[in-house]
Every structure is written in C-alpha cells, then in structure tokens.
Amino acid sequence: MVVTGLGTVNPIGLGVDDTWKQARAGVSGVGPITLFDTTEFTTKIAGEVRGLDLDSYLPRRDYRRMDRSAQFFWVATAQAMADAGLAYTEDDPAADRAGVLIGSGIGGITTTQAEMDVLRERGPGRVSPLAITKIISNMGAGLVSIDFHLFGPNSCTVTACAASANAIGDATEIIKRDDADVMVAGGTEAGICEFALAGFSNAKAVSTRNDDPQGASRPFDRHRDGFVMGEGAAVLILEEYEHAKGRGAEVYAEVLGYGMSSDGYHITLPRPGGAGAAKAMQRSLDNAGLAAADIDYINAHGTSTVANDVTETQAIKTVFGDAARSVPISSTKSMTGHLLGGAGAIESLMCLLAIRDEVVPPTINYTTPDPECDLDYVPNEAREVTVRRAMTNSFGFGGHNVALIFGSV
C-alpha cells in the first residue's frame, strides 16, 4: 500500500504546501476563539480553521447542507484526489474499486448543539430536516462517495482521538484483502463549540493559558496544562502499489505497519506506565517486520496533558529501549492544536512529508524540561534528518491505541 495523494485544511494551513511550510517554521495556529462568545468560559483559545473559501470548492447550496466537519473532509478529499491525479465518473468501472474511510471522534457536534437549541426554543416543528444527516459522523464519507463517484467500500471509524489513524489502518487492510485498489482515508473534526469546550473544560483537560494562545500547546514541557482544541481534516489517497505504478502515479511513501491495542483501564486516563500504548507500537513494528531501531522519527500523540505525555514517553522507552534516547520525537499538536478524531490523519501527513523532504518538524513551546519526559522532542526548531521510516501514535478516550508506520519506497 502506497500513498499517492494528500490534502488538508487545519489551523496552520489550507492545503498541504502551506501546512508544511508553517510546520517547518514552527508556527502556531492557536488563537482566541472567534466561533462563539467565550465570556463565561475558563478556556478562551483554540486552533480554528480560518479563511477557508468554500465557494471555490462547492456551490453554496451544497456546503450549507453539510456540517462544518463534513465540509473540511470534502475539501481535503478534493485536494488529495487532485494531488493523486485521480477522477472517476459515475459509469467508470474503476469507481467500483475505489472507496472511502473516514475517522471522526464527535461528528457533527456543532449541528447537534444548534438543533437542540432550536428544539427547546422553537419546538420540534422547527428542527431542520437535515439535522440527522449533518450530525452523523459517517456523512463526510457518504458525501465524498457521492460527489467523487467512489463506489467501493464506504465506512467510518469512531474511536475518539484514534479515529483517523484507525481509518487509515483499516483502509490498508481493505486494499490488502483485494476489496479495493484505491481508498480515500483520513479524518475530520469540527468540535469547537460551547458544548464541547464546556465538557472538556469541566474535565480539566484543556489549557487555560488564555494570555498566551500561541504558547498554550506545549507537549512534554514541564509547565503544560492541558491540550488545545483544534479542528480540520486531512486525507491520504491509499493505493495498491502495482495499480499506482501502472498509471504512473507519484508515490509519497508506503504504509508499512498498523498496530492497535486497548488500555482497558479508564474512560479518559491512559494506563500508567504506558503499557497499552507500547503494545500498539510494538504490534505496528511486528506488522511491518521491523525493529524499533529501524524507526527514524516518531510523530507523538503528544497532547500537552500531564498524564498523556508522561505515559507516551514511558511507552516509547519500553518499546525502543536504548534507541529511545536517539530517535527524534515531535508533537505537531504544539502547532495545530489537537484535531481530536482528525489528529491521526494530519499527523500521518506530517510523517509523509518528513520522509519526502528529510526534515522533522519541531515541538514548539518546549522551554522547561520535565524530568519525567526526558527524550529528544526536537525542541522549537525543525531538524534535517534522513527519515526512511516514521511512526505516528494516536491514543483516544476509552483506551483506544493506534500506531502507524510509513516508509520510503
């Protein structure tokens, strides 16, 4: 399985080139929330997608029928399909061998909130007939399947912050079992709304560094105080190698490994010591037929929460042993914020570009080392590194752990 196309919209870029330029430069996309009034909230910052011109992609009547999360996924898919040089018509036999798999943690939660307000304030007769189709997490995949004529497998993973990593891994398995030649795979999230922010705030999960938005997401730093909500989408075009070769497609990298595990411990907290995360990482290595020393870069889950960053560090030490001290590790959530269900996809994209350009993006805002997080987190500046194989980690509420490995072709 190889990757032949990429697309993304996120807080630091409205396309792949812009995103990568900003990531390499260590630019933060976090700022004051503009999507709603935060007066009564303890957290007033997030990584919003700003400046996206939907009119350049879709007729207004179409995108107004979509939740914001589906809009992001549609745009990222359009970019990725164009990048891969793929287009299908309704009567194209190849369309039956092309599918889509989306990951989203909370789907159309902004629509849920808005329509619940309508129900309570104006009565059931005023709830939109499109409410359900905008709320359900799988609708991004459904809309992409319709509009891009993808008539193969069409599905959705909902595993919290591991959702889009699962989507990419599961899509490779679909191709492996010969149910498709091409899969549009990735994830999306648009959860920056009053309801979600209140829930995360009251769970003490998000940063309250409101006076320093761009410095708020600080994975592995001793003074981290929670994650920063982000939004956006990223899409990878996965393709069977001979199929890609046969049509002369350019290849970013190969998908080498996919590993999963469950913490089986707590609804939000990771298992102390990182045993569950370590199992997912080791299983991805086993799936790829690699040793830990073969990995040249780790894009960490690195949420900037006290518990996650410590347990992920411990998990890396468990799996990598002595090599843990030498492998460069970075968390691009320091720049994008946490895209929740879309995190695994945008971070997979970062790995692919690191392989292509032999540059590892930094962990910004790393100023004070934490004795419990004592590895090489590529602090504050990108680094030129020969990256032949890269691993990315995604861990979700409920104990869902996923690790993916990509390698140069």
Question: Which residue in 156, 193, 301, 351 is the catalytic one?
Answer: 301
Question: Which residue in 161, 193, 351, 373 is the catalytic one?
Answer: 161
338 is catalytic: yes
Cα 94–Cα 81–Cα 46 angle in degrees, nearest 5 = 140
Cα dihedral across residues 328, 332, 333, 335: positive or negative = positive
Tens digits of residue pLDDT in 330-359: 999 999 999 999 999 999 999 999 999 999
Domain annotation for the chain: domains and CATH numbers: 2-246 (3.40.47.10), 259-407 (3.40.47.10)
Instruction: List Cα–Cα distances, 237 to 4, 29, 255, in angstroms.
Output: 6, 25, 11
Per-residue pLDDT, 33: 98
149 is catalytic: no
Tokens for 164, please give them: 């889009």
Write out residues in the chain with pLDDT < 50, as ranges.
Answer: none
Longest C-alpha distance within the chain, in Å?
A: 64
Per-residue pLDDT, 129: 97
Distance in angstroms (rounded) separating the CA atoms of residues 158 and 177: 22
Per-residue pLDDT, 45: 98
CB within 8 A of 91, min separation 6: which ones? none
How many residues are recorded in the chain? Answer: 409
Distance in angstroms (rounded) separating the CA atoms of residues 207 and 44: 9
Per-residue pLDDT, 407: 98
Tens digits of residue pLDDT in 239-268: 999 999 999 999 999 999 999 999 999 999
Question: Which residue in 156, 193, 338, 351 is the catalytic one?
Answer: 338
pTM: 0.97
